[in-house]
Amino acid sequence: RLLESVDTTGGVRLLGVGVTGLADYTQEDLFAQAAGERAALEEAAEEESPGDDGAAPVAEESVPPAERRWPAGHDVRHAEFGAGWVQG
């Protein structure tokens, strides 16, 4: 009854629920769509990359990457994938 009064269109965050007990076939279903999207993005990137024109590559300055900390349970928002949280 309580859940009916809550807007769940953006998803529901279940605290304390693990996914380690899922069957193998269920886990594959969970990540099949993400794997397909990743493969499509990689293929598109390969098609857009310029071919070898014989020019020597230009060395870029190496800038140390900024340190990121992702504590478990931290809420995050991704430009493409939307809202979520850090697991583990």
How high is the pLDDT of residue 74?
A: 81
Residue of 86, 56, 51 whose CA lies nearest to 72: 86
| pLDDT at position 57 over 80 | no
CA distance linking residue 81 with residue 22, whole number of Å = 23
3-state secondary structure string across 7-65: CCCCCCCCCCCCCCCCCHHHHHHHHHHHHHHHHHHHHHHHHHCCCCCCCCCCCCCCCCC
The answer to pTM > 0.85 is no
The neighbouring-strand residues paired with 78 are 82
Task: Convert the pLDDT of each residue in 1-56 to its tens digit.
Answer: 777 787 877 777 766 666 666 566 555 555 666 677 777 777 777 766 555 555 66
